[in-house]
Structure formats: C-alpha cells, structure tokens
A and B are shown apart, each in its own frame.
Chain A
C-alpha cells in the first residue's frame, strides 16, 4: 500500500540523489586518500552505479593522476547536492505526515 505513496512525486528522485551523493563522496574520499599512491588513477561515478576512471589532465612521475584541487571542488559541490536532497526529502516526509494526520507539524 505505502509503495504507491512513497513512489509518487519527487520522493524516488530525491532518494536516488541522496544515494548518488553518498556514493560519490566515498569515491572522492578514496581519490584524496590516494593522492600520492604510485600508479593510482582518479575514479568517479559515471551514473548511479558504475565507477569509471576519470581524466584529470595531470600526470605525476609516479603514474598518479589525482588532482587535489579538482577533488576538493567536486567534494564541495557534491556535499551541497546531498544537503539539498536531504532537506527536500525531510520536507516531503513532513508533508506526507501532515496529510495523514490532517494537522500541521511545526
């Protein structure tokens, strides 16, 4: 019964955005942790599931291509995406609860 309600409107999209942002944070954290690892190539999320090698235009003598500046700015943008999705999701849940109870929640 509830899957019809939870499958409506922006809810599924917001959940997907949240998952994507979490997954991407892990990938970015791994890139930053491996900024000096010999031969390590930067990874990123192509879509919601696949991790692919990313081009950075940087190549150090030890074969590492992590660009710290790029990773840091990716992280900031991704974090904003996550906060937005979380806040909107929280609001959507509040609206659902208000509709169910017939009362406004503060």
Chain B
C-alpha cells in the first residue's frame, strides 16, 4: 500500500468537468478515493479497538503494553490516512491547475 502513495499514474478517461468531481481510477488499481475510504475505516476500527483495550485495562483485564500498542497503531493509521488525504488534495489541485 505505501508504494502506491508515491505516484498518481497516467490519467485515463475524458478531460473535462467530470474529472474535477470524480477522478478516473488508475487502470488495474483502486482509485485514491477508495483507498482513502478504506483508510478512514481502518482508522475508525483501530481507534475503537484502542478505546476497548483502555476500558479493559481500567478493569484490569488488559496489560499496559497492550494499551500502548493499540494507541500507537491508531496513531499510525491516522497518519497514513492524513498522508493519503494530502496526496488526494494535491492531485485535485494539480488537475485544477491543468484546467487553467
């Protein structure tokens, strides 16, 4: 997944108004939008898991390292999502510039 963040790949489909609202998916791979949605789901899942582990920890049912690991994973997932979002925004802005 990380290697896909790097480049946008060749654009396919018609250049026009349609492209601004819905970028065409790169052939053979998922669209950035799908990757971002997947990432958001991942972040939500990991944050919920972290909350659950914390609740268990306060009851003495989970160890402190489990809490640390759960929260760190949630943080990394969030950072990954932000990176994908930023790349998507950059792609949109680049397309905007091309139109002009």
A adjacent to B, CB under 8 Å: yes
Residues of A participating in the B interface, judged by any CB pair closer than 8 Å: 1-6, 15, 18-19, 22-23, 86, 89, 93, 96-97, 99-101
Given contacts A1-B35, A3-B42, A18-B69, 13 further A-B contacts (CB under 8 A): A1-B38, A1-B42, A2-B46, A2-B73, A2-B80, A5-B1, A5-B2, A15-B69, A19-B63, A22-B65, A93-B72, A97-B79, A100-B2
| Residues of B contacting A96 in the complex (Cβ-Cβ under 8 angstroms) | 76
Is B52 among interface residues, defined by CB-CB distance under 8 A?
no
Give Cα distance in the complex from A78 to B92, angstroms.
52
Total number of A-B contacts with CB less than 8 angstroms?
A: 46
B interface SS class: helix
Interface band, chain B? 20 to 34
Bound CA span A100–B73, Å? 13
Contact, CB under 8 Å: A101 / B79: yes
The smallest beta-carbon distance between A102 and chain B, in angstroms, is 8
Q: Which A-chain residue is minimally distant from B45 (CB atoms)?
A: A2
Once A1-B39, A93-B72 are accepted as A-B contacts, the answer to whether A100 and B80 lie under 8 Å apart by CB is: yes
A4 CA / B2 CA spacing, docked (Å): 11
Closest CB of chain A to B93's CB: distance in Å?
A: 18
Are B1 and A1 within 8 A (Cβ)?
Answer: yes
> Which residue of chain A has its CB nearest to the CB of B72?
A93
